[in-house]
């Protein structure tokens, strides 16, 4: 139950600018990598190279997500290190 409460609080809390920028970049990456599939489902034939590039971008996005997850910190740590949002 504590996990769900924490999840809800974090979901609706104000996001620091650094993470807002990362969110925008992540959405842009998702749109770019999803576009070839959307076009293919719409009947547009794309070269195989597009699919290979799309898979590679998704791989990089996953690595970035793992890195970003490491950047998170608790309020107590930020207070001790004099970090600001």
Domain ranges of the chain: 15-80
Q: Using one digit for the tens of pLDDT, what is the confidence trace for 36-74?
A: 777 778 888 877 777 677 777 777 877 887 787 777 766
In whole angstroms, give the CA distance from residue 17 to residue 10: 15
Half-sphere exposure of 43 (CA within 13 A, CB side): 0
Percent of the chain with pLDDT over 70: 87
Instruction: Output the pTM of the full model.
Output: 0.52
Instruction: Please check the confidence at residue 4 and state whether its pLDDT lies above 80.
Output: yes
Percent of the chain with pLDDT over 90: 0
């Amino acid at each position: 139950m504590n996990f769900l409460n924490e999840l809800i609080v974090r979901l609706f809390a104000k996001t620091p600018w650094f993470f807002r920028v990362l969110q925008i970049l992540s959405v842009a990456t998702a749109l770019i990598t999803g576009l070839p599939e959307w076009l293919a489902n719409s009947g547009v034939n794309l070269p195989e190279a597009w699919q290979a590039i799309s898979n590679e971008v998704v791989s990089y996005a996953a690595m970035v997500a793992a890195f970003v997850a490491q950047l998170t910190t608790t309020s107590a740590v930020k207070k001790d290190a004099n970090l600001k949002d």
